[in-house]
A and B are shown apart, each in its own frame.
Chain A
Amino acid sequence: MFDKILIANRGEIACRVIKTARKMGIATVAVFSDADRDAVHVDMADEAVHIGPAAASESYLVIEKIVEACRRTGAQAVHPGYGFLSEREAFPKALADAGIVFIGPNPGAIAAMGDKIESKKAAAAAKVSTVPGFLGVIESPEHAVAIAEEIGFPVMLKASAGGGGKGMRIAHSKDEVAEGFARAKSEAASSFGDDRVFVEKFITQPRHIEIQVLGDKHGNCIWVSERECSIQRRNQKVVEEAPSPLLDPQTRRKMGEQAVALAKAVGYDSAGTVEFVAGQDKSFYFLEMNTRLQVEHPVTEMITGIDLVEEMIRVAAGERLRFAQDDIQLKGWSIESRIYAEDPTRNFLPSTGRLTIYRPPAEGAIDGISVRNDTGVEEGGEISIYYDPMIAKLVTHAPTREAAIDAQSRALDAFAIDGIRHNIPFLTAIMQNPRWREGALSTAFIAEEFPEGFQAPEPVGVVATRMAAVAAWIDYLEAKRKRTISGQMLGRALHVSRERVVMLEKQRFDVTVDERPDGVVLIGFSDGSTVPVASDWRPGSPVWEGSVADVAIAVQVRPIVNGVFLQHQGASAKAKAFTAAEARFVELMPEKKAADTSKQLLCPMPGLVKALMAAVGQEVKAGEPLAIVEAMKMENVLRAERDGTVKAVHAKEGDSLAVDAVILEFA
């Protein structure tokens, strides 16, 4: 076994690999760019080597720098993580030349699977099911219909030279094939100057299901269950799970055996993933093979108990696989959510900045329900523009799919991140989605379920009741302390009414608040129901955790003027608690029109415009940077004070501006 390995990666996956190496008693070496000087993976590793500027092309992607870092530190092997150099054939070769072991497959396997056409050929040769179709030249509409009938409807007519959806057409019947063929041909000719068209089976409502395989250098290879990754946004996976709600044991075994056949055919000798597209009828077809550790590997680990990184290291060191196929047992269900630094309410625009608050939920297992958070950032860390915006993978495991989803939802509710925008509200909303809960998935799930994008809904039903109860509980806790302030006039208890009105935005809840001797607070609602609330939450904490009506829940809490902003299960609302008298006055208050003041961004100081981030017609959100003005040798970021649309831009980069010069105007 190795004494020391280097991890040629950053962020959560570097931390993930370091954890396992440490568990195995192997010393670790991290590499870092200028932007990652203070990163978590650098702190975690036993040693760290600086490998250059922030841009990955000058640091994490430079093979010589990694090899040099190994030489300097004496690392005997390199784990590539995913991304960066993990699937570059040249990397293991360069390492081998330097006498360093690559913790991953042999270069031949990477090469064989790296090419889309070659890999399909290899798959077909290994009798792996591939998408039925006719790759030859089709002569006539009749020929096309004949092929389509052989494949089965629906089919897709595709321009051989095409791409990006152009020259593609779906046909559900003979007539549609005949008609579509002519049009596809002429479209192909005009778009690509090549009128060749081929026919392929079209999979409606496709699902993405992949098989984890594990091989060693002694010719052994097994499959380690599947993962379903159908929840994607623009081909980027968002939520993954294992096992797949679609598969039955027979299909699972068929897929697994085909995956192993393919892996064996290319001499695969590490952890890898064979990706399939599956139809709702459980038909499945080979897509591609990823010759590395997948981002979503934790869900497999959770249901099999196998540490895939450990097995990768062991087989890389020449050990034989420790498991036979029959040793692999699936236990329970696991869900993973990818936490991205992106704004779900603004078309998932990436967000960068300082993590002023980053408090993931507690990890560990309680009553058969586990929470695991694979992360590479910490509070006070910086999300930079240079790398992938994924900041954490939140994984839950429970005996059933439903319990795993509930645990995921609760863990997401308990995850506090401030300073950047992130997709947790969106992920939480997915967890509540009935179609997701049924497991009726397809890769179009997000596009179909969130056609207008995502806006956090106002709370309704039980979520609203819970929020109202939590708001009343917080108000009660704070009011109780206020009554203990020093310097009171009468020296006897203040009269405080047990009646409260909680406003969740415009929803009104008339409640009574009573504390039981055991500290549990009873919130009585006007429909006669009484909700016991208990928590050890204290002001200043961003996450309220406790029980409401005997259900353990977490609610995000942020202070606002005279109240709190609450988020729970994807919904959000401003919550304010009033006395009955106050509530009467609140009702008299007029609704505020959108602020009337300044529709202009003024230069707050004499300075030089270093950058303008807003263009005419652009929609901006409050807090979004609009311009950078340099003054006193300092860069000042000017941010939008409220949401709006840019009407006109009056300055340009390089302008020297006086105080109150108009930089841009809002509509």
Chain B
Amino acid sequence: MKDILERLEDARAQARLGGGERRIRAQHERGKLTARERIALLLDEGSFEEFDMYVQHRCADFGMQDQKIPGDGVITGYGTINGRAVFVFSKDFTVFGGSLSEAHAQKMIKIQDLALKMRAPIIGLFDAGGARIQEGVAALAGYGEVFARNVKASGVVPQISVIMGPCAGGDVYSPAMTDFIFMVRDTSYMFVTGPEVVKTVTNETVTSEELGGASVHTTKSSVADGAFDNDVEALLQVRRLVDFLPANNTDGPPEWDSFDDAERIEHSLDTLVPDNPNKPYDMKELILKVVDEGDFFEIQEGYARNIVTGFGRIEGRTVGIVANQPMVLAGVLDSDASRKAARFVRFCDAFSIPLVTFVDVPGFLPGTAQEYGGLIKHGAKLLFAFTQATVPMVTVITRKAYGGAYVVMASKHIGGDVNYAWPSAQIAVMGAKGAVEIIFRQDIGDPEKLAARTKEYEDRFMSPFAAAERGYVDEVIMPHSTRRRISRALAMLRSKEVDEPWRKHDNLPL
């Protein structure tokens, strides 16, 4: 019997070696960890239970029958992050460059199916060369089945992708359909077609980094939600993110005891909004002073910085925060900001994460670039997302809430449950000067009259009270009590239930 056990140990040892010492060294020299090392970092120590260690490909073409490595380029299984179950696959670049074969795809599919049955998150670590071309259509079929499960799981369990090396061709579409993509700076890139093909087709000369590096995808394309300096940093931050996320769409956000006081008063917020309405201020100060312990996990920090999205906690429970950022472009809504926030709102709604919205928005960005780019449709995405959301929604207007952008930013009219305004709020169709120049066009030649009209308009509309008179804001609150107000509103809203009529699905303006 003992020798049988020993054989098992030998088989395991061989599988654990993946593509062998030489390739592991090469991986390290590139500043990357191996697939197994990454799993060890991501999961609680010793919690990984591996599946399909001995799976091998079944390809018999191009000499592949003589090259078989157990595991076949991907390591799969489950484990825990702070005790909570997650399913994991990690591409092994040391085995056939991590390329996807039919058997490799089957391993991924098994994990996806199980995760969906168990209603637990799936985390994919990517570092691979794409389809195993020796397998031809069998590999493509594998991709298709993985994609189908990504879609099936979408909105049921959180799916997170971490790009930690090359990710090209067919490999990009599985991450693209997950909820979050993170990249490692300098060692990862993502593109549909690589620099060689680009060169042949369009004559453009670009490097992999310029075509699909972390900085491209976090600042220009918005494909990635964040980037980190190295493998260790990225995986430890994914652990931090998972602590914010529900396991699935029915469990609700995880909880832990907050070290922070739900009734904490922040006097400094009383001077956050400057006296001069044209002076920006940092909305992140408000966010950091409202959430528990100042702990905020920002999503898409580098992209469309005129809107801020991310996760925090109130009384130990996760909330999603959406906030206009006056520091960037005056916090205006443009196409990019609208899409960024819309996607975030829909994630939170899908997973029962309450939404807290901070509003200081001068309107939508004017100009041909925006209109030609489809601002109407992109703005509609955010309007649609907020309107459709059924999670608890608390909105605080700190300063400007002008025009259509006021309505879009989780206003009462589209489903805000509790809507507050600071005394500095100005809820109006537009700024006073512009409004007066339209209403009193005949007075344009008379600056004195115009000034009087402007003053009149300011007194009437440049305050939260015109809206409060109509019940569009529930209360005008002191800035210093914002955290306390939000905490209480969210506590009240915990039992929120909304019945929606049956439909197959909505038709979000894509």
Contacts and interface: CB of A to CB of B under 8 A. Distances in A.
Interface in A14-42: 37-38
A631 B295 contact: no
B259 A634 contact: no
Interface string B281-306: 11001000000111100000000010
B271 interface: yes
8 contacts: A355-B268, A378-B268, A381-B271, A483-B82, A579-B45, A581-B45, A585-B231, A588-B33
B275 A37 contact: yes
Contacts of B251: 487
Interface residues of B, number: 64
A437 B229 CA distance: 42
B170 interface: no
Interface in B78-110: 80, 82-85
Interface of A: 37-38, 354-356, 358, 378-382, 481-490, 494-497, 538-540, 559, 561-562, 579, 581-582, 585-586, 588-590, 592, 596-598, 604-606, 631-637, 659
B221 to A, nearest CB: 15
B293 A539 contact: yes
Contact of B267 (A354, A380, A486, A631): A380
B63 interface: no
A379 B232 contact: no
A578 to B, nearest CB: 8
Contacts of B141: none
Contact of A634 (B45, B247, B257, B330): B330
Contacts of A596: 186
Interface in B211-247: 215, 228-233, 236-237, 240, 243, 247
B41 A487 contact: no
Nearest to A586: B232
Interface stretch (B69-77, B321-329, B381-389, B443-451): B321-329
Contacts of A488: 80, 82-84
A419 B328 CA distance: 18
Contacts of A540: 259-260, 292-295
A565 to B, nearest CB: 14
Given A540-B292, A589-B31, A631 B330 contact: yes
B229 A592 contact: yes
B132 to A, nearest CB: 28
Given A538-B293, A585-B231, A604-B329, A634 B41 contact: no
Contacts of B285: 354, 356
A589 B28 CA distance: 8
Given A539-B295, A634-B362, A490 B330 contact: no
Contact of A494 (B44, B278, B295, B328): B44
A155 B500 CA distance: 94
Contacts of B33: 585, 588
Nearest to A659: B369
B62 interface: no
A385 B412 CA distance: 41
Contacts of B259: 481, 538-540
Given A482-B256, A486-B255, A538-B293, 8 more contacts: A358-B268, A380-B270, A483-B82, A486-B254, A562-B232, A588-B28, A606-B367, A631-B330
Given A487-B251, A538-B259, A633-B278, A494 B83 contact: yes
A485 B243 contact: yes
Contacts of A484: 256-257
Nearest to A497: B45
B263 interface: no
A632 B330 contact: yes
B122 interface: no
A485 B236 CA distance: 17
B466 interface: no
Contacts of A561: 228-229, 233, 237
B280 A538 contact: no
Contacts of A378: 267-268
Nearest to B30: A590
B494 interface: no
Contacts of A606: 367
Contact of B329 (A481, A485, A598, A636): A636
Contacts of B260: 538-540
B168 interface: no
A633 B330 contact: yes
Contacts of B257: 481, 484
B256 A481 contact: yes
B269 interface: yes
Given A559-B294, A588-B33, A634-B362, A487 B279 contact: no
Contact of B279 (A358, A581, A635, A659): A635
Nearest to B272: A380
Contacts of B80: 488-490, 494
Contacts of B256: 481-482, 484-486
A540 B231 CA distance: 26
Given A37-B275, A559-B295, A585 B232 contact: yes
A483 B268 contact: no
B230 A590 contact: yes
A574 to B, nearest CB: 12
B327 A592 contact: no
Counting chain A CB atoms within 10 Å of each CB, the highest count among B236, B254, B281, B332 belongs to B236
B332 A632 contact: yes
The 10 nearest A-B residue pairs measured at CB: A380-B268, A540-B293, A488-B83, A634-B330, A590-B31, A538-B259, A632-B330, A379-B268, A380-B271, A539-B293
Contacts of A483: 82-83
Nearest to A658: B369
B262 to A, nearest CB: 13
Nearest to A358: B268
B419 to A, nearest CB: 24
Contact of B362 (A358, A380, A632): A632
A407 to B, nearest CB: 27
Interface string B38-73: 001100111000000000000000000000000000
Contacts of B332: 632
Among A356, A585, A596, residue most surrounded by chain B Cβ atoms (within 10 Å) = A585
A562 B327 contact: no
Contacts of B280: 634-637
A487 to B, nearest CB: 5
A340 B235 CA distance: 41
Contacts of A635: 278-280
A636 B327 contact: yes
A636 B330 contact: yes
A631 B366 CA distance: 11
B37 interface: yes
A485 B80 CA distance: 12
B31 A581 contact: no
A355 B272 CA distance: 10
A360 to B, nearest CB: 14
Contacts of A585: 33, 37, 40-41, 231-232
B362 A482 contact: no
Contacts of B85: 489
A562 B236 contact: yes
A490 B84 CA distance: 8
A355 B510 CA distance: 43
B41 A485 contact: no
A605 B365 CA distance: 10
A460 B112 CA distance: 50
A636 B229 CA distance: 28
Nearest to B38: A585
Contacts of A487: 84, 247, 251, 254
Contacts of B282: 356
B343 to A, nearest CB: 21
Nearest to B86: A489
A455 B52 CA distance: 55
A118 B466 CA distance: 67
A562 B260 CA distance: 20
A162 B59 CA distance: 94
Nearest to A477: B259
